[in-house]
Amino acid sequence: MLLEAAGISKIFGKLTALDGAALTVGENEFHGLIGPNGSGKSTLMKCIAGAEVPTQGKVSFVNADITSFTPTERARAGMSLKFQITSVLPSLTLYDNILLALQAQSSLLDLVFSCTRGLLHDQVMTMLTQFRLAERAFDAAAALSHGQQQWLEIAMALAGKPKLLLLDEPTGGMSLEERRVTGELLQPIKKHCSLVIVEHDLDFIRDICDRLTVLDQGKVLASGTVSEIQANKSVQEIYLRRA
């Protein structure tokens, strides 16, 4: 297994956000994390990415225990996160946003003497082209539409060639057309990367994911292939109950 999170609990003061949640993701697997609002999806993502430290539980990644790794160490191990709130760097150009992500693991001397930017140029343009942003390469990221900023952010998250990409609500605030394109943009990465995706749009999830995990009140309600989950009575119930 690429990622194994087991027995994850996270307690904020009196609030138990996660109560023994678990998630396993295999190689080249697209895994959807769904559940009603407040079920702990984002918290679980943050515990996996290192933005939060779980109160209890263990996270293993590529057979190593990374529970106490910092975000930097996790990134260097091959994990990448796209935040729920877009955090592209607005005053930098799109080109520089991608370059910033690509050069993250260059050595200090390479950075000071700008040794790698010539080599990385083609990769920057390939990423921008792949995410349909090449025409705007030299605009400031702040000038992009919300949907385009999300794509830029996904491109940045993929730049370091991660083994696992964590996407927290990538289609939030997107139009239908933008959602469709996002799905298309994500398909090709399956060849080299696994995906954990938190999303409210169930149609979108159904289209691109292999397996689903359903969280409810900090616990795993069900986990399985898309068709298994769709047939699951208790899952239908929580969605009907809250609909």
Partner 1 sequence: MGAAKQAVHADVGDETDVSVTESAPIKRSSVRKVLPIVEGVVLIAALLAPLVLQDYLTVFATRVIILALFALSFDLVWGYAGIMSFGQALFFGSAGYGVALLARDLDITNILLVLPAGTIIGLTFALLLGGFLLLGRHPSSVIFVSLGTLTGSYAADRLARGWYYLGGQNGIPSISSMTLGGYEFSEGPAFYYLVLGILVVVYLLCRFLVRSQFGLALAGLRENEQRIAFFGYKAQHLKAIIFAIGGAIAGLAGSLYAFHEGFVWPNMVGVVVSTQVVLYVLFGGSGTLIGAVIGAVIVEGVSFWLSDNYRDIWPIILGLLLLLVILFRPLGLISFVLGERERVGSFGATRKEKQNAP
Q: Given the rule CB under 8 A, which residues bind partner 1? A: 49, 51, 70-72, 75-76, 80-81, 83, 87, 89-93, 95-96, 99-101, 103-106, 108, 110-122, 124-125, 129, 134-140, 156, 159-160
User: CA dihedral in degrees (175, 180, 182, 184; nearest 10)?
Assistant: -170
Q: Which two tokens stand for residue 192?
A: 């080299």
Please, what is the minimum distance in Å from the beta carbon of residue 112 to partner 1? 5
- With respect to partner 1, which residue has the nearer C-beta, 77 or 226? 77
Please, what is the minimum distance in Å from the beta carbon of residue 147 to partner 1? 19
- With respect to partner 1, which residue has the nearer C-beta, 120 or 226? 120
CA–CA separation, 77 vs 67, rounded Å? 13
**At residue 108, what are phi and psi to the nearest 5 degrees?**
-60, -45
Q: Which two tokens stand for residue 191?
A: 């060849």
- With respect to partner 1, which residue has the nearer C-beta, 43 or 80? 80
Please, what is the minimum distance in Å from the beta carbon of residue 171 to partner 1? 20
R_g over Cα of the chain:
18
Q: Which two tokens stand for residue 199?
A: 């999303």
Please, what is the minimum distance in Å from the beta carbon of residue 124 to partner 1? 8
Q: What Cα–Cα distance (Å) separates residue 149 from each residue in 83, 131, 136, 141?
A: 12, 11, 12, 7
CA–CA separation, 234 vs 220, rounded Å? 12
- With respect to partner 1, which residue has the nearer C-beta, 113 or 191? 113
Please, what is the minimum distance in Å from the beta carbon of residue 132 to partner 1? 11
- With respect to partner 1, which residue has the nearer C-beta, 121 or 192? 121
